[in-house]
């Protein structure tokens, strides 16, 4: 089966090959066209249909196509017009890499049905689209200034990718009087250029020559390229060293130190490199003695003093010096140096201390002798005349007094003060009158000894110290340090508290000071409600002989601390009890139900009390004024409102942190007006006592009681013999009626018309008498256990009680 299929296929292939070979003969004719390079895309090349004798319509039917041999397809056939057009711009230099005059692009036009092949050769003609380019943009040449004229130097040629007339035609050189160019033509037509030296070069006149070489092609218009030629002229040793002048004159002082520079020679050589490097040396005409006294640096030409020059021995010196270069054939220049020696004042004056005191006390008298000084100078004439001065004499408490020729006395001229200056470095300067003058300095160190002439001094005369109450005993309050500018024992200070009694209490019982460093301590805990301030003195005393002292005033101010809780005094209630109030249900809006009053034993912001509702049964029914504590109705009662209302009110101070107290008020409403009390009610029948009768009974009882007490007190005093008693400070007692809160009561205003407030911070009583219909209601405080109180009526004008022994007091305490 496979054999049957393969046999027909083989037959067809052989037939096709024979047909192709037969048609190949028809393609032997070649059509040639010529176009310039760089033509635009779509440009017309030739009409293939006309040139090949083909019908334009057959190009599509016979599937005409263009096959480019060994190159990229730059052309295309327009099958509608039969024209051969540019498909892509062609660059002759890219297609024909070799630099030849002709460049062809070979291709075939292939038609089918039947197959026919046409050979086409397209010649690409060169245009001048490339400028000449030098392979090296800068060419460097080193030419010796000894090179003779006519010497030739090869230069790098330029290249041009174009061919024929568009290639390089000639070269041009920028203007130069020393160089020109010679253009040569090679066998292949290439242009070569040589640089030719026209004249003698002189490096000292022109060391570097910069030329521009230009290559121009033969295109139209012509294109060109340039390269730089940098010519460095190499030096030869053709110049001898030259000094600025043949003879130099210089002065040198006698006794000049070794190494002193006399002068520096500077010869110049116009050459460069080793030809300009110079070596200085003495010639044979310079004496050996001169060479021993002066040195010559061979590289820098610096002449220095080497030995000791003495004007009395030799007044001048003569030096012959040459400068020679380091060239292959060295050249030299010569000069002469004349050195004149100048006489100097070379002997320094001398100062000698004959006797001296190294220390003086600061209380020595003016005119005290410190030292005896002598001066001298070995020179003669003006150089031997000397003058002794005291350096900075204007600011020193000393002076010099000439006692005899060449002798001086150093004396104290002003009072001394060790606290200002502890030590003096006295500089005595002796100067001669030579030119230039010479001087010598001698220093005397004088130490000033201390005496106790300064009292201690505090930094300020008055100290104000703020102490917060409830401080810890032994707390450091401040450090009161004084300063004494004296030394040693005159400076050692001891601090004391100057004794002063306040209410039979010594300051040393309240405060303590460290005698060594002045640290002030509190010995007790202070209470602002008892003590507000202290004023006393502290003394600082030194240990000198005799001792000196000073004192300072100390003002201790006790600052308040929020350590007292507000105390609710109205409405009065026993510990933990509830205050009850009864009001009619017909009470109008804004009716005053009760007034809460609280006091605080602290001061200022810590005693400022405000009131707030902590709990309330109906917030729409009552209001509380936060400043005066008044509780008022905000509306009338309705039938829906409960008969009993409960209010919890908190009294809070303004301290940090704030302290508070609360009171609970139970309000009961009734249909008819009834008497009410805050705590305990003691009803009395109206029929038994009228108002007038009640007042008469109370007044009679009071007068009788006071008369009885007075008689008993007189009898006791008559019978009792006086006994001396030691004065004792009563201790702070929670039950003491003499209270530290008496000051609080003085600040507090009258709380209410029916309220009495004691000054004691630990107990209060409240008295209020009211007359109601059918009843007299007496409000009484709840009495603490273990204590008994007597309650009586007093006029409004009577203030808080001051002592438990006062018979006129409203409240009395019995144990």
Same domain, 322 and 359: no
pLDDT surpassing 50 at residue 807: no
Q: What is the pLDDT of residues 361-384, one digit of tens each?
A: 988 999 999 999 999 887 766 777
Domains in the chain, number:
6
* Residue in this structure with the two tokens 């460093």, named with its chain if needed: 517
Residue 767 maps to a domain: no
- Among 76, 79, 70, residue whose Cα is nearest residue 88: 76
Q: Output the average pLDDT for the chain.
A: 78
Same domain, 107 and 142: no
Range of the structural domain that residue 207 is part of: 133-234
CB-CB contact of 628 with 605 (8 Å): no
Same domain, 514 and 438: no
Same domain, 379 and 469: no
> What's the CATH code of the domain at 269?
2.60.40.60
pLDDT at 380: 67
Same domain, 431 and 463: no
pLDDT at 784: 36
> CB 196: neighbour CB atoms within 10 A?
16
Residue 324 maps to a domain: yes
CB-CB contact of 568 with 596 (8 Å): yes
pTM for the whole structure? 0.40
Which residues, other chains included, contact 317 with Cβ-Cβ below 8 Å and sequence gap of 6+? 287, 290, 293, 294, 338, 339, 341
Residue 806 maps to a domain: no
pLDDT surpassing 80 at residue 684: no
Same domain, 138 and 158: yes
Q: Pick the more confident residue, 511 or 165.
A: 511
Q: What is the pLDDT of residues 536-580, one digit of tens each?
A: 999 999 998 889 999 999 999 998 888 888 888 888 776 666 888
pLDDT band (50, 70, 90) for residue 670: confident
CB-CB contact of 198 with 177 (8 Å): yes
Same domain, 489 and 552: yes
Pairing of strands 168-173, 179-185: unpaired
Percent of the chain with pLDDT over 90: 26
Residue 498 maps to a domain: yes
Strand order in the sheet with 261-264: 261-264, 302-305, 294-296
Same domain, 194 and 177: yes
Phi then psi for 129, rounded to 5 degrees?
A: -110, 10
Give the containing element (helix H, strand E) for 227: strand 224-234
Residue 729 maps to a domain: no
Sign of CA dihedral 340, 345, 347, 348: negative
Q: What is the pLDDT of residues 432-485, one digit of tens each?
A: 888 888 899 999 999 998 898 888 999 898 999 999 888 899 899 999 889 999
**Which of 109, 125, 141 is at the close of a domain?**
125
pLDDT band (50, 70, 90) for residue 426: very high
Least confident residue range of 48-52, 82-86, 524-528, 754-758: 754-758
Residue 480 maps to a domain: yes
pLDDT at 293: 92
Same domain, 246 and 333: yes
pLDDT at 341: 85
Residue 742 maps to a domain: no
pLDDT surpassing 80 at residue 9: no
Same domain, 265 and 184: no
**Which of 636, 670, 704 is at the close of a domain?**
670
Rounded CA-CA distance 204/602 in Å is 108
**Which of 510, 533, 559 is at the close of a domain?**
559
pLDDT at 226: 92
Task: Please give the structure tokens belonging to residue 768.
Answer: 């209020």
CB-CB contact of 69 with 108 (8 Å): yes
The string over 683-720, giving b where at least 16 C-beta atoms fall within 10 Å of a residue's C-beta and e elsewhere, is eeeeeeeeeeebeeeeeeeeeeeeeeeeeeeeeeeeee
Same domain, 117 and 156: no
Phi then psi for 82, rounded to 5 degrees?
A: 80, 15
Same domain, 94 and 167: no
pLDDT surpassing 60 at residue 515: yes
pLDDT at 124: 84
Residue 104 maps to a domain: yes
């Amino acid at each position: 089966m496979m054999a049957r299929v393969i046999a027909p296929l083989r037959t067809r292939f052989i037939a096709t090959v024979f047909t192709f070979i037969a048609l190949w003969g028809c393609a032997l004719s070649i059509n040639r066209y010529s176009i310039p390079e760089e033509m635009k895309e779509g440009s017309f090349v030739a009409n293939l249909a006309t040139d090949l004798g083909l019908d334009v319509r057959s190009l599509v039917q016979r599937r005409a196509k263009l096959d480019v041999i060994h190159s990229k397809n730059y052309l295309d056939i327009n099958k509608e017009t039969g024209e051969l057009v540019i498909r892509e711009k062609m660059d002759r230099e890219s297609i024909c890499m070799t630099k030849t005059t002709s460049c062809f692009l070979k291709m075939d036009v292939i038609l089918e049905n039947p197959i026919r092949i046409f050979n086409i050769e397209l010649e690409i003609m060169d245009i001048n689209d490339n400028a000449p380019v030098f392979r090296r943009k800068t060419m460097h040449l080193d030419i010796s200034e000894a090179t003779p004229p006519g010497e030739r130097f090869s230069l790098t040629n330029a290249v041009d990718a174009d061919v024929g007339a568009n290639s390089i035609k000639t070269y041009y050189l920028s203007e130069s009087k020393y160089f020109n160019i010679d253009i040569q033509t090679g066998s292949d037509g290439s242009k070569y250029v040589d640089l030719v030296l026209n004249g003698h070069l002189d490096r000292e006149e022109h060391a570097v020559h910069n030329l521009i070489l230009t290559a121009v092609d033969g295109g139209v218009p012509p294109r060109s390229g340039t390269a730089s030629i940098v010519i460095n002229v190499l030096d030869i040793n053709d110049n001898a060293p030259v000094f600025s002048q043949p003879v130099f004159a210089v002065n040198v002082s006698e006794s000049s130190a070794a190494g002193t520079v006399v002068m520096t020679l500077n010869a110049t050589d116009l050459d460069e490199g080793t030809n300009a490097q110079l070596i200085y040396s003495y010639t044979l005409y310079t004496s050996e003695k001169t060479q021993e006294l002066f040195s010559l640096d061979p590289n820098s030409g610096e002449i220095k003093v080497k030995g000791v020059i003495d004007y009395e021995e030799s007044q001048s010196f003569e030096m012959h010096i040459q400068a020679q270069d380091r060239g292959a054939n060295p050249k030299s220049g010569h000069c002469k140096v004349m050195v004149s020696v100048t006489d100097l004042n070379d002997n320094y004056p001398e100062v000698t201390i004959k006797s001296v005191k190294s220390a003086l006390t600061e209380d020595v008298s003016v005119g005290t002798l410190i030292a005896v000084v002598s001066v001298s100078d070995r020179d003669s004439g003006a150089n031997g005349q000397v003058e002794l001065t005291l350096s900075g004499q204007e600011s020193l408490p000393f002076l010099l007094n000439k006692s005899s020729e060449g002798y001086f006395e150093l004396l104290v001229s002003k009072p001394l003060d060790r606290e200002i200056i502890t030590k003096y470095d006295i500089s005595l300067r002796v100067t001669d009158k030579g030119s230039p003058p010479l001087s010598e300095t001698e220093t005397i160190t004088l130490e000033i000894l201390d005496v106790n002439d300064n009292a201690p001094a505090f930094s300020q005369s008055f100290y104000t110290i703020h102490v917060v109450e409830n401080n810890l005993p032994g707390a450091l309050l401040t450090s009161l340090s004084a300063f004494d500018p004296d030394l040693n024992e005159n400076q050692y200070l001891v601090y004391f508290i100057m004794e002063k009694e306040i209410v039979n209490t010594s300051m040393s019982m309240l405060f303590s000071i460290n005698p060594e460093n002045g640290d002030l301590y509190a010995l007790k805990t202070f209470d602002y409600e008892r003590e507000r301030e202290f004023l006393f003195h502290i003394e600082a005393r030194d240990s000198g002989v005799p001792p000196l002292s000073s004192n300072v005033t100390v003002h201790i101010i006790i600052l308040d601390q929020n350590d007292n809780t507000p105390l609710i005094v109205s409405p009065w209630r026993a510990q933990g009890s509830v205050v009850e109030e009864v009001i009619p249900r017909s009470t109008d809006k804004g009716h005053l139900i009760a007034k809460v009053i609280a006091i605080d034993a602290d001061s200022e912001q810590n005693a400022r009390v405000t009131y707030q509702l902590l709990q309330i049964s109906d917030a729409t029914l009552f209001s509380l004024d936060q400043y005066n504590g008044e509780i008022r109705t905000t509306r009338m009662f309705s039938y829906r409102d409960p008969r009993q209302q409960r209010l919890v009110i908190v009294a809070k101070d303004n301290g940090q942190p704030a302290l508070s107290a609360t009171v609970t008020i139970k309000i009961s409403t009734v249909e008819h007006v009834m008497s009410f009390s805050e705590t305990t009610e003691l009803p009395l029948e109206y029929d038994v006592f009228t108002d007038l009768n009640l007042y008469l009974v109370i007044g009679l009882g009071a007068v009788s009681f006071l008369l009885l007490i007075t008689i008993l007190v007189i009898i006791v005093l008559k019978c009792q013999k006086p006994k001396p008693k030691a004065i004792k400070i009563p201790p702070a007692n929670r039950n003491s009626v003499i209270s530290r809160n008496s000051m609080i009561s003085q600040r507090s205003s009258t709380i209410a018309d029916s309220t009495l407030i004691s000054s004691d911070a630990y107990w209060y009583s409240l008295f209020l008498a009211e007359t109601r219909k059918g009843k007299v209601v007496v409000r009484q405080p709840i009495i603490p256990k273990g204590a008994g109180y007597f309650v009586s009526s007093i006029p409004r004008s009577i203030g808080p009680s001051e002592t438990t022994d006062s018979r006129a007091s409203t409240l009395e305490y019995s144990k």
